Amino acid sequence: MRTSKNDSKMPNSSSLDSWLIYPKPNPDAQIRLFCFPYAGGSANIFRHWSNHLPNTIEVCAIELPGRGMRIKLPPFTQLEPLITELASVLKPKLDKPFAFFGHSMGGLVSFELALLLRKKYGINPNHLFVSAHRAPQLVAPKPPIHGLPEAEFIAELRRLNGTPQALLENDELMQLFIPLLRADFAVLETYVYTQQAPLNIPITAFGGLQDQEVSRDQIQAWQEQTSASFALHMFPGDHFFLHSFYSSILEIISQQIIV
C-alpha cells in the first residue's frame, strides 16, 4: 500500500493506452479482467497473470499515475476524482463482458468504480474480485499514516511488509518513492463510504490468514455489498499473500468468470 503532495484536482488526462497494460494482448478474448494494484504498486504486479489464465480471458492491468511509464504524472490523493477519471477512460473497453480484480487499495478502487459505472452508464462487471481490503462500510480501525513524519511513515511501511527491504534501505530511492506511497495512502485514508444499494453481481473476496491489517470478519463483510452470490477464500500469509498464491487465486477467478 502506498502518497505525494497533491490536492484533489485530477492529474492531466492521458490516453486510454497509458492507463492500461496488456501482458498478453488478446482482442479476441471473451472477457476482460481489469486488475487494480495495491498502494504503491504498478501494473507490473500482474505481468505473469495471462500465463495462468485461459485464452478466453484478457488481462488488462491498470497503470495509475505516478508509476511505471506514467511516473512523471502526479498521483491522485483522493478516491472520487480517481474513479471519475477511470470510468471515463475505461468506457471504450467495456464493450464486452468484463470483471474487476483489486488487491488492497485496488479492491476499494474497483468497488467504487463498479458503483460509478452502474450509476453513470448502467453497466456492471460480470464479477467483482476483492482482495485484502475490509468491506467499505467498516470504519478504519487504525489512525491514518499518510501525514506522519518521514521516520514514522517508513516504520509503518516496514511493519506492513509490502515494501522490498532493498528499497527501504536505499535512501535515494525512498525519497522518490515516499511521495507516491503517501498519495496512495491518502486515497485510502480520506475515503468516506456512502451507502448505496448493493451491487447485483457476484463478489468473491480473498484474505490472508496472517494479515494483521484485515481480519477474516472484515473480509466476510463484503457479503453485504452484493444481492447476488458471495464467496470467501482465505490463504496463508500476510497482507501480501497475493504474491505467493496468485496461481491459486487465478484458478478461482477463471472458474468464476468463464463465459
End-to-end CA distance of the chain: 32
Grouping H, G, I as helix, E, B as strand and the rest as coil, residue 172 is: helix
Nearest to 99, CA basis, from 186, 36, 160: 36
Residue from 4, 50, 104, 110 carrying the catalytic annotation: 104
Q: Return the C-alpha cell found at 142.
A: 487504525
Instruction: Give the span between the Cα atoms of 255 and 202, in whole angstroms.
Output: 13
What are the φ/ψ torsions at residue 203 (nearest 5 degrees)? -120, 130
Is 88 annotated in the active site? no
For the chain, how big is the Rg over CA atoms in Å? 17
Task: Give the active site residues.
Answer: 104
